[in-house]
Amino acid sequence: LSPVAPLGLNVVLGDIDQNSTLAAARNLEVLADPTTVLALETARQPPAGDAVIRKCAAARMLRLQPFDNPAFSRHFALFALTSGGRARAEHGFELHALDDHLAAHLALFERLAADGFRLADLRVDVSDTAHDEVRLAAVEQQLFPSLHRRFPRATYALDRARTHAMAYYRGLCFHIGARDPDGAPHQLSDGGSTDWLARLLSNGKQRFFVSGIGSELLLRRFQ
């Protein structure tokens, strides 16, 4: 991705305070979120029919908000994944995308553990910004058993009390956390459904699911 993005992109799509990004010249801002830029890229060639457009990118971010966690930095690396496509019956797109993204993240953590990275108490928490019990029940009954068979090292739970980034997502969202070798807990991954593609294309049938992995945090705290 380019190191800059259109000025105000994250305010418009993600409701992120403009003070959290660094404005640049010519109506640009320094890249602060790769998933919003990948939404623009997906909207340029939108999915047709039942196709799903999947994109990913490794990029460096600059965020200007203060952090009280010494493991965090204002300038850091993320690996982002996105999935775009049309809505399916019974929240089919969102459930499939959630499974897709969780499997990608957990497969990475499994390979890292095999290479000597120390990730203790790996945990997946799934929430819903609308507190939709139908969607949450589908996750618990359909996705969790399948994920547990494929990735038995992790634990899986519904988090109905989540407050973080609930205005950023629209629908199902997740966190993946683990403890580092010192026993400190860290959030490694974050993701969820958004309405960005629907808004960019003025088409309420479009769905867009995003997620990000703290790739630099993994190297700093878990290697």
* Angle, vertex CA 20, rays to CA 194 and CA 41, nearest 5: 40
| β-pair type (185-194, 172-179) | antiparallel
Average pLDDT over residues 2-22: 87
pLDDT of residue 126: 98
Percentage with pLDDT > 70 across the chain: 99
pLDDT band at 25 (very low <50, low <70, confident <90, very high): confident
pLDDT at 71 over 70: no
Average pLDDT over residues 162-187: 94
Does the pTM surpass 0.85? The reply is yes
Average pLDDT over residues 178-188: 95
Tokens coding 199? 């808004």
Higher pLDDT, 85 or 22: 85
Higher pLDDT, 175 or 32: 175
pLDDT of residue 203: 96
pLDDT at 216 over 80: yes
pLDDT at 106 over 80: yes
CA distance 54 to 38: 10
Residue-wise pLDDT tens digits, 111-159? 999 999 999 999 999 999 999 999 999 999 999 999 999 999 999 999 9
pLDDT of residue 180: 95
Question: Which residues fall within 8 angstroms of residue 92, CB to CB, at 6 or more apart?
Answer: none
